[in-house]
Structures are given as structure tokens and as C-alpha cells.
Amino acid sequence: MKPKQLLIKDETYNFHWLVIFGCSYQEAVNIYAKRIGVTPWEASSTHKQHQANFTNHPAHRVSLIWFDQKKPPPSVIAHECLHAIIYFAEKLVVPINEKTEEVFTYYLDMLIERIYESCKS
């Protein structure tokens, strides 16, 4: 069965998350490389034991969120989305603290909601 893909775009900061469901990590890396034109930073197959992962390419504003299942548990979605948001903050060079946390929690909500909704269909 073909892996499911979801591209979530943030036009404000020109940042994107490519979410890939239902395949091996190596397949997800290959899809990312084909769509983005580069291999993500953690392209090794060290994630054979994992059911999900977050990675990126430091020169690009597209992060990869991968799930081996087409319908991952909500806790796994939230876990990977938090990694993605922390990287997003680092890429923007904005610390997550009392003054900025609300903005990042809205982004976290948005990612989790979009991924969760995509899993329903």
C-alpha cells in the first residue's frame, strides 16, 4: 500500500512539515529526498525500532515527521509534533519561554490537529 503524505505549510515563516504515514523510515526518507531535493539530516536506518521520528535538513525549512502506521496513537503524534515545534523555534532563533510559549503552543495545536484529522480519513 502506498504511504500517505501530508504537507503542512506555514506561510508566515515559510516553514513546512512533510508528514508521511504507513511506511518504513527509509521509504519516508526517500520520499522526502524526492520531494525536497535533499536527504534529511538523520537519513540512516537507526530508527528500525521506532514507530515514528522527526528529522530535517538544516539548510531547508521543511521538516519530516514520519509514522510507520497510517493511524498512529495520539500520544505518538503529540510526541513527534513537540520535536518539530522545538526545531521550528530553533530555526526561527526564538527561545521558548514565558513570553513566547503561547505562539508555539498554537503551532503545536495546529500540527497535532492537522495530523490527527488526516489520520481519520
At 41 the three-state DSSP class reads: coil
Q: What is the DSSP letter of 38?
A: S
pLDDT tens figures, 96-115: 999 999 999 999 999 999 99
Task: Name which residue leads in pLDDT, 60 or 118.
Answer: 118
Cα(75)–Cα(29) distance, integer angstroms: 23
Our CA angle for 67, 58, 91, nearest 5°, is: 90
At 66 the three-state DSSP class reads: strand
Beta strands (DSSP E) in the chain are 4-10, 15-21, 52-56, 62-67
Cβ pair 20, 65 in contact under 8 A: yes
Q: What is the pTM of this model?
A: 0.86
pLDDT tens figures, 22-48: 999 889 989 988 988 877 766 555 545
103 Cβ contact partners less than 8 Å away, ≥ 6 residues apart: none
**24-38, 55-69, 76-90, range with the lowest pLDDT:** 55-69
Categorise residue 118: left if φ over 0, alpha if ψ from -120 to 50, beta otherwise. alpha
